[in-house]
């Protein structure tokens, strides 16, 4: 049996593959890396993941990092879980890869500018947060439009819906206003009601308590 260990921090984007693992229902270990204490940059963790980030997934002791790669690997290994819709063509697969990359490479830095502008400047944080709001708003509007046409990003649920959830709720913690977006409000409630998502939150709490 493949041995899986996910390195995470509660509230970080590691919540997305954590929810994926709970949705799949396979055995795995969860280990917390305390970002607030800088553990991700210490030699003990960097021996596991030299990039000094979470999430990191050890697969039989071998490292896989970055959400886009972890999610696609889990989908390939556990296709019956339906983390992504089964692509009907190479073109559809490429579109799914494009959607995942869009969140990880575009949404993610904009969200960081909202939530933790100190990551992007050593000076006044207010202009960074303001620019983050400006850049993120068109992305959120695209999601809202899509959710006005379907319940989920692909019509049916996928793990990308959890990734979008993480992005917009994290931005909200940085004072991004979600009140103009009723589709996102409905989407948020649906994600929060998912049993796999609730189990992921419990695993985060357990990791925090045991750390």
Please provide the average confidence, as pLDDT, over all residues in the chain: 96
Give the CB-side neighbour count of residue 198, counting CA atoms within 13 A: 6
For the record, the structure tokens of 29 come out as: 């270990």
Q: Give the closest residue to 72 by CA, choosing from 88, 95, 50, 42.
A: 95
What's residue 45's pLDDT? Answer: 93
What's residue 141's pLDDT? Answer: 98
pLDDT tier at 78 (50, 70, 90 boundaries)?
very high
Cα 164 to Cα 137: distance, rounded to the nearest angstrom: 13
Cβ neighbors of 32 (< 8 A, separation 6 or more) are: 7, 8, 9, 10, 207, 208, 210, 211
Query: Does 175 have pLDDT greater than 80?
Result: yes
Query: Does 1 have pLDDT greater than 90?
Result: no
Number of Cβ within 10 Å of residue 202's Cβ equals 11
What's residue 209's pLDDT? Answer: 85
184-195 mean pLDDT: 98
Residues 119-138: pLDDT tens digits? 889 999 999 999 999 999 99
Cα 151 to Cα 55: distance, rounded to the nearest angstrom: 28
Query: Does 151 have pLDDT greater than 80?
Result: yes
Distances in whole angstroms, Cα of residue 150 to Cα of each of 16, 124, 146: 21, 40, 6
Total-model pTM: 0.96
Ramachandran sector of residue 75 (left: φ over 0; alpha: ψ -120 to 50; beta: rest): alpha
Residue corresponding to tokens 């000094």: 52
59-80 mean pLDDT: 97
**Cis, bond preceding 55 (omega within 30 deg of 0):** yes
């Amino acid at each position: 049996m493949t041995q899986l260990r996910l390195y995470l921090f509660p509230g970080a984007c590691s919540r997305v593959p954590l929810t994926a693992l709970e949705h799949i229902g396979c055995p795995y270990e969860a280990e917390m890396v305390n970002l607030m204490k800088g553990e991700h940059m210490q030699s003990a963790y960097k021996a596991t993941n030299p990039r000094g980030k979470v999430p990191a997934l050890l697969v039989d002791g071998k490292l896989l990092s970055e959400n886009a790669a972890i999610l696609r690997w889990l989908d390939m290994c556990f296709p019956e879980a339906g983390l992504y819709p089964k692509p009907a063509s190479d073109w559809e697969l490429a579109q799914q890869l494009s959607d995942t990359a869009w969140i990880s490479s575009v949404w993610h830095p904009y969200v960081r500018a909202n939530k933790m502008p100190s990551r992007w400047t050593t000076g006044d944080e207010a202009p960074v947060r303001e620019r983050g709001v400006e850049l993120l708003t068109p992305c959120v509007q695209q999601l809202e439009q899509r959710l006005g046409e379907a319940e989920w990003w692909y019509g049916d649920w996928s793990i990308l819906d959890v990734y979008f959830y993480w992005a917009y709720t994290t931005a909200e913690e940085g004072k991004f206003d979600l009140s103009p977006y009723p589709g996102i409000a409905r989407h948020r409630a649906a994600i929060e009601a998912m049993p796999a998502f609730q189990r992921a939150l419990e695993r985060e709490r357990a990791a925090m308590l045991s750390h």
